[in-house]
Amino acid sequence: MSGIEGKVVAVTGAGSGIGEATALLLAERGAKVVLGARRTERLEALAARIERAGGHAAWIRTDVTRRADLSGLVGLARERYGRLDVLVSNAGVGLISPLDELRVEDWEEMIDVNLKGVLYGIAAALPVFREQGSGHFVNTVSTAGLRVVPLQSVYAGTKNAVRTISEGLRQEAGDGLRVTVVSPGAVRTDFTDRMDPQARARIDRMMETALSPDAVARAIAFAVEQPDGVDVGDIVVRPTAQA
């Protein structure tokens, strides 16, 4: 038996990309997955795909900018499966642009999704984990926070904020809770769809050597499958060719 089999895992941003790949892989390895995203048609299709393969999946529309939605996601896990073992906070947006363009609304959206969305997840899951005496937070950050470059200031700031909060949470967690941050590099997803054209052209060039979302899913699975008492704190996974 793997260290994943039987675990109840909630995933935000599960409608596509890394979240979808993570849900599929964990379900394949025996987890019961609870899917959260805004696009319900994708969640329904993903849950059906998992169940056709013999897995277990539940889903609920989840906008991570709404605290109540994260409470609903955690609540569904407990209602359907009796507990929650892992929360993968993966939902994120990268509305990258030059600061001179003053896209303040985009800055606010990145703060709301990338940062506050993770905090709302912590607020929903932490009391449950404390009650159970165990639990695992997996937060998707980015290599953009490790190597800050032009056009990515606010995006990198939100990801580094999550990195800092995750480290503080780890230190406060005690010996029953685990905290992992996963920093993907360039990954082939729909991440660039809403970017500033200048930024998109730069990122699209990186996509020529980008990872499949499956590569990041395997990194997340590695952290989740570790035995009790082993906390994989930080994983960086990026294309070999990425600077």
15 phi/psi in degrees, rounded to 5: -75, -15
Give the pLDDT of residue 150. 87
Q: Going by C-beta distance under 8 Å and a sequence separation of 6 or more, which residues neighbour residue 100?
A: none
Give the pLDDT of residue 162. 97
Q: Please give the Cα distance from 93 to 106 (Å, whole number).
A: 9
Give the pLDDT of residue 243. 64
Please state whether 238 falls in left (phi above 0), alpha (psi between -120 and 50) or beta.
beta
- pTM (two decimals): 0.92
3-state secondary structure of 133: coil
Q: Which amino acid is at 168?
A: G
* Under 8 Å between Cβ of 5 and 54: no
Give the pLDDT of residue 202. 66
Q: Are strands 8-12 and 56-61 parallel, antiparallel or unpaired?
A: unpaired
Cβ-in-10-Å burial (0-12, 13-18, 19+) of 144 comes to: buried
Q: Please give the Cα distance from 158 to 156 (Å, whole number).
A: 5
Give the pLDDT of residue 186. 83
Among candidate residues 64, 3, 11, 62, the one with its CA nearest the CA of residue 34? 11
Low-confidence stretches of the chain (pLDDT beneath 50): 1
Give the pLDDT of residue 126. 98
Residues labelled catalytic: 155
Give the pLDDT of residue 220. 98
Among candidate residues 162, 132, 131, 133, the one with its CA nearest the CA of residue 145? 162
Distances, alpha carbon 67 to alpha carbons 2, 72, 123, in Å: 33, 9, 8
Give the pLDDT of residue 211. 85
Q: Please give the Cα distance from 28 to 2 (Å, whole number).
A: 11
Q: Going by C-beta distance under 8 Å and a sequence separation of 6 or more, which residues neighbour residue 19?
A: 11, 12, 13, 37, 88, 90, 91
Give the pLDDT of residue 90. 97
Give the pLDDT of residue 160. 96
Give the pLDDT of residue 198. 67
Give the pLDDT of residue 1. 46
